[in-house]
Amino acid sequence: REHQYDAVCLQAIMQKESAYVGVMGSRRRTELLRQKLLEQGISQAVMNRLHAPIGLAIGAETEMEIAVSVMAEIIKVSRHKNTFSAKLCAAALKAEQPFVLATIICRQGSAPRDIGTKMLIFADTIVASIGGGTLEARIIKRGRKMLADKEAKDVWEKVDLTGAHQEAGYMLCGGIVDVLLEYVDPEGKNEGEMA
C-alpha cells in the first residue's frame, strides 16, 4: 500500500527538469513500475534518468546504510554532470582572490537557465551567467556581500521570479530559483559550512 501512489507521483515528477529522481523498492517492483510508466507514455529517454531501485549497491540494510547509499548515488550523479565551461574553469584556476561560485540547484516553473548552471562572482567582475535580470542581480549582490564580509559559509538563496511581490511582475520569468553560493578562497582558507 505504501507504494500505491509511486506511479502517479513519478509521472508528474518525470515531466519536470531535475538533477536526480529515485524510487525505493525491490528490483522486481521497480522494474514493474518502469514498465507501467512506459505504457503510460513516459519516453525511454526520460525513464533513463530514473534511479530505481534508489541508491548505490553497497549491501545496505539499516535505515542509516540506505541513507548513505542514496546520498552516495546523488553525489555520483552530480559529479558526473559537467556544468563547468572551459571559461569558468580557467577563471577559477587563475583566481588569486576569493570568489563566490553560484550554482542553480533547483528551479520551479519558468526560469532563464537550467539546474547546474554556474557563475563566478568576483569583487569587480563576473564570469558566465545564471540568466541575467533580477535573478542574476540579486545573486551578484549577495555574492559580493559574502566577499566583502569574508563570509566563508555556503549560502542557499531562493529567488522568487513569479512577480507576486513586485510591481513589475509582468516582466519576470514566473518561476522560483534556488541558488547555492559557495565562498572560494584560492589560498584554501574557506570553511565551506552551510548557513
Any bridge partners for residue 121, and if so which?
100, 126
How do the residues of the chain divide into helix, strand and coil, expressed in percent and rounded to 5? 35, 20, 45
User: Which residues neighbour 20 within 8 Å (Cβ) at sequence distance 6 or greater?
Assistant: 51, 73, 74, 77, 78
Closest CA to 185 of 89, 95, 87: 95
Can you list the domains of the chain with their CATH numbers?
6-80 (3.40.50.720), 86-194 (no CATH)
Per-residue pLDDT of the chain (195 residues; tens, 9 = 90+): 566 788 888 888 888 777 788 888 888 988 999 999 899 888 888 888 889 889 998 888 899 999 999 999 887 887 666 567 778 888 998 999 999 999 998 888 777 778 888 999 999 999 999 988 889 999 999 999 999 999 888 999 999 887 655 544 444 566 889 999 999 998 875 544 444
* CA distances to 4, 100, 119, 126 from 143, in Å: 44, 6, 10, 10
195's CB contacts (< 8 A; 6+ apart) are 151, 153, 154, 155, 156
The C-alpha cell at 166 is 513586485
The predicted model scores a pTM of 0.54
* β strands within the chain, DSSP E: 21-22, 50-51, 99-108, 118-121, 126-127, 153-160, 176-184, 193-194
